[in-house]
Amino acid sequence: MLEDQIVALAASGGAAVVAAMATDAWQPTREGVARLFRRQGAEVEGRLDEDAALVAAAEDGEAADAARQALAPGWALRLRTLLAAHPEYAEELRTLLPAEGGATRSVQYNIAHDQGRVFGVLDGSTVIHQGQQEA
């Protein structure tokens, strides 16, 4: 596997790992990453859990995004090192990434304050008609 391909795949993998933290996709992603590293004798479950806890503890969507952005380069580096030593793991790592061709994993953060309302939709649309409220 070429060095450029390793770097690109590791960067995508690192981003996918942290994007899944504190979401419904976390457990399968965590298990897949841990399985990759265990194959070469490394234990990363503790690090995965610590990083996921940082993201989960973030106060709001922006803080969680900032945590993910800070964690992604570290996971990209770990994956790059793993792939450099074991390029045969590349295909297994690809299975952890969002599917190509339009099928992606989506994350949406909606926050309402002070009696505000939030209407969130992924992969679709919604129309809200708001009339006058009667007293």
Burial class (CB in 10 A: 0-12, 13-18, 19+), 25: middle
* pTM for the model: 0.71
Report CA torsion sign: 15, 20, 29, 121.
Answer: negative
Residue 123's pLDDT is what? 62
- pLDDT at site 98: 79
First-to-final CA distance of the chain: 68
Q: What is the model's pLDDT at position 108?
A: 62
Q: Give the phi and the psi of residue 18 in degrees, each rounded to 5.
A: -75, -30
The single residue listed with the structure tokens 């790992």 is 17
What is the model's pLDDT at position 101?
46
Q: Are 17 and 33 in contact (CB under 8 A)?
A: yes
Amino acid (one-letter) located at 1: M
**For residues 45 and 81, what is the distance between their CA atoms, to the nearest angstrom?**
17
Q: What's the gap between Cα 130 and its chain centre?
A: 35
Burial 80-96 (b: 16+ CB within 10 A, else e): bebbeeeeebbeebeeb
Residues (pLDDT < 50) of the chain are 101-103
* Ranges of each domain in the chain: 3-94
Report pLDDT for 100.
55
The predicted-structure confidence for 39-77, as pLDDT tens digits, reads as follows 988 899 999 999 999 999 987 888 999 999 999 999 999
Q: What pLDDT sits at residue 102? A: 45
